Amino acid sequence: MLTGRQRPMTEVAFLFAEIGTADGHQGIGFGYSKRAGGPAQFAHAAEVAPELIGEDPSDIGRLWTKLVWAGASVGRSGAATQAIAAVDVALWDLKAKRAGLPLAKLLGAHRDSVRCYDTSGGFLHEPVEQILENAGRNLAAGIGGIKIKVGHPEPGVDLVRVGKVREALGDTPLMVDANQQWDRPTARRVCRALDEFGLVWIEEPLDAYDCAGHARLAATLDTAVATGEMLTSVAEHRELIRHGAADVLQPDAPRIGGITQFLRLAALAEQEHLTLAPHFAMEIHLHLAAAYPHEPWVEHFDWLHPLFEERLEIRDGRMHLSDRPGLGITLTDQARHWTVQRADIRRTL
């Protein structure tokens, strides 16, 4: 299976936080880790969570800072803030539920639906025929755009595959994702060739931390450059913005520390008039994208369906907000059955 420098993905570990108040309200949040890191997130969350006991759950910004400082020696990015993210998301879910509003409405929605595209049907190991079958099924289900992977060891293979998909899909919005597989010379050559296909964006053509390289590509290509999903703090995204390294910013709320941090980053992105296309976790990102002033995209993955009772409504190329309060999700019995580790943190009387 072609996965570049990353090993094949056999599991995704989820960290769930359920927060209850003395007056009976409850909030739920989650974070995740692909391939490795889940146990580290759980351990850190269990260690700092007692700092919340007795606090006012409405003071989310202050509580985020308190949790960060409770684990200050391990820094403000990576597993530490990803652990806090699950708690932060739960606090925002709780706040919106107490207000009786969907989270997007609590934040101040600019729209009731968001453009959406699918990623889960276009991996490198799949033949073009399978990709086209997957794309047809997703478009028929109401999804608006299709993203496929590139980064084959032989770049010519990428160009043939993209050409066949573009020809078959016509003017359907099409994106490609290289998952950091190219060096700078290869990225220049392949991205220039990809310009002819009228793509919405070319994603992660270079190492996620190569701000200067991404900026040079963005300045020379007709096609938008997208990146940001692998970064784990607002500070790292700020460097992308400062360099002009992305036309499309792809933050992941669970990776950068939760909704509190995502909102900080969204304010920076808005000032630069950047398109926002949050990575993964559509159950969270639909709300955050709906509250972003400039028309964004949301990434569709059906991987999380077994975890939640509800389904997001998708039609006419867009993902639609429901009227359910908070995030609008509840855990399934299956999700609880799959749980391998728990920590119950309560006030000691």
Which residues are within 8 A (CB) of 93 and not within 5 positions of it... i.e. 6 or more apart?
A: 27, 28, 29, 103, 326, 327
* DSSP reduced 3-state for 19: strand
- Cα 87 from Cα 29, distance rounded (Å): 6
In contact, 260 and 60? CB cutoff 8 Å = yes
Measured distance CA(107)–CA(105) in Å, rounded: 5
Q: Collect all residues with Cβ–Cβ distance below 8 Å to 1 and sequence separation of at least 6.
A: 8, 124, 125
Closest among 297, 309, 302 to 334, alpha carbons compared: 309
- Residue 155, H or E segment: helix 155-169
Owner of token pair 């994106």:
175
**203 appears as a binding residue in the annotation:** yes
183 annotated among ligand-binding-site residues: no
**How far does Cα 274 stand from its chain's mean position?**
16
Tell me if residue 294 is catalytic: no
Largest separation between any pair of C-alpha atoms in the chain: 67
Query: What tokens appear for 159 in the block?
Result: 């160009």
Q: Parallel, antiparallel, or unpaired: how do β-strands 174-177 and 318-320 relate? A: unpaired
Which residues, in sequence order, are bridge partners of residue 20?
Answer: 26
Q: Is 310 marked within a binding site?
A: no
Q: How far apart are CA 156 and CA 20, in angstroms?
A: 55
279 is catalytic: yes
Among candidate residues 97, 149, 214, 237, the one labeled active-site is 149
Point out the catalytic residue in the list 147, 152, 279, 300. 279
Q: From start to end of the chain, where are the E strands?
A: 12-20, 26-34, 113-118, 145-149, 174-177, 201-203, 224-227, 248-249, 275-276, 297-300, 313-315, 318-320
271 CB neighbour count, 10 Å cutoff = 9
**Chain-centre distance for alpha carbon 99:** 25
**Would you please indicate which residues are annotated as catalytic (active-site) residues?**
149, 279
Point out the annotated binding site for Mg(2+). 177, 203, 229
